Amino acid sequence: MNGRAVQRFCLALMACLALATCSNNNSSTGVPVGQTGFVVLRLDGTTGALDPAFGGSGTVVTDLDPGQFDFALAVALQPSDGKILSAGRTVFQGLNSIALVRQNTNGALDGTFGTGGIVRTPIVGVSTGASAIAVQGDGKILVAAISFSQGLLTTSITLVRYTSVGALDPAFATGGIVTTASLGPGADSDTCGLALQPDGKIVVAGASSNGKISLYRYDATGALDTAGFGTAGTGGVTVTDLAAPAMSPAIALQADNKIVLVGGKGSFSGTSSPVDEVVLRYNTDGQLDTTFGGTGIVTTDIDFKANFGNALLIQPADQKIVTVGHANVNFSTDTSDISLVRYNTNGTLDVTFGPTQTVPGIVTTDLGGFDNAFSIALQAGKFIVAGNSGSGGLASVAVLRYNADGSLDSTFGTSGVVAPPPVGPSFISSGNGVVVQPGGNIVVAGYD
């Protein structure tokens, strides 16, 4: 990976891996020696303590392929029965493959899903891994994955639909799988965004290092929605040029089905193009919404240092946009802070959020290491953020709870933070996806 390679999963490792090959201009990090497995944790929704009713200890590790580097980047709950689906990557015949794990509500693998609760889906000729997941009302499962060919030179989005038992859905696209055209060079983007509209249409987004954000919409059969969506002449697809290297976007839908993305733009090489958070909003036809920030694009710089967004949610009551990601990224000192930013519906910063911060509307949290935030969920008006934190070759899952005004909730964990240590097979762990169960308990998926 080149000097711009700031990927969600690599960032989770930058805090913690001394042996590596994923590089930037200031440090060298990458794949660990040894192995990791999928991990799912359940925390008590009030205190943040690990829930022993889940797997006996609150933590369940599934080592899909011993000796390999397996991880989950996304998690979802099945609406019908509360079963837990985590999606990510494993290795099949030397190539990264999509991997899914389904667990019962007590943490046990669900033997009715795939093979013993596990599904592996290799995509011929490419290296791929799932980064987003959604469950349809009929129980079918959608997964979006970034696929790499020719090393990292070309990327595309692979969209896969499974039946409720984990089989590829023959009624979707070709054998359950559809792949977009090339997004372009992909060294800055290793994940993609996925959202399911109420009408069954599917929106996915990816980015490229030449500055393009690509937004696709498919109908329920897996065909591009060429009639009602996209830039003129490219039905079903909207491409937005940020005029700077673009980083992996996440997606959320407003109540009116406008599409909101968050990611980053800029380069970690030199100072001519610093990395900043970027939020984009599109109308339902895929055109940029100019009522949002005047152009449909809002760029946020935090403290004149590197910052970018990894995930977002829309507050149901007022449709304000809350993003979570990184601030003050510094590879030379091996430090990064967690950022939480709230925007009004017109794209301006919400100054009622974090009113005591240096810049109201922006909350930063320093846990003392290279701190990563990858996912956010809403719990009774409070914000649950999952990621990890560490340095010097060690890192642990980090889960934080913020009050509605952006302050850390002191009733949760230790001063608002829960950081359970790794349990193995690895000496590092990360919480890459988070959801809140109907009863309020918190489910986090990642690797350990």
List of residues 6+ apart from 69 with CB closer than 8 A: 31, 32, 35, 36, 91
Q: Is residue 114 assigned to a domain?
A: yes
Q: What angle do CA 144, 150, 153 make, to 5 degrees?
A: 75
CA distance 36 to 12: 13
For the whole model, what pTM was predicted? 0.92
Q: Is residue 267 assigned to a domain?
A: yes
Q: Which helix (H) or strand (E) holds 276?
A: strand 276-282
* Residue ranges in the chain whose pLDDT is less than 70: 1-34, 92-94, 150-153, 186-189, 232-233, 269-273
Task: Measure Cα distances from 205 to 51, 54, 129, 193, 213 in Å.
Answer: 35, 34, 15, 5, 7
Residue type, 292: F
Question: What is the pLDDT at residue 150?
Answer: 60
The tokens for 36 are 């990791």
Question: What is the pLDDT at residue 311?
Answer: 97
Q: Is residue 2 assigned to a domain?
A: no
Q: Is residue 1 assigned to a domain?
A: no
Question: What is the pLDDT at residue 318?
Answer: 98
Question: What is the pLDDT at residue 291?
Answer: 98
Q: Is residue 344 assigned to a domain?
A: yes
Percent of the chain's residues with pLDDT above 70: 88
Is 320:314 a contact under the CB 8 Å cutoff? yes
Name the β-bridge partners of 407: none
Q: What DSSP letter does each residue of 124-140 carry, written as one string? A: TTSEEEEEEEEE-TTS-
Question: What is the pLDDT at residue 18?
Answer: 28
The total of structural domains in the chain comes to 1
State the CATH number of the domain containing residue 225: 2.130.10.10
Q: Which domain range does residue 232 map to?
A: 8-447
Question: What is the pLDDT at residue 17?
Answer: 36
Q: Is residue 159 assigned to a domain?
A: yes
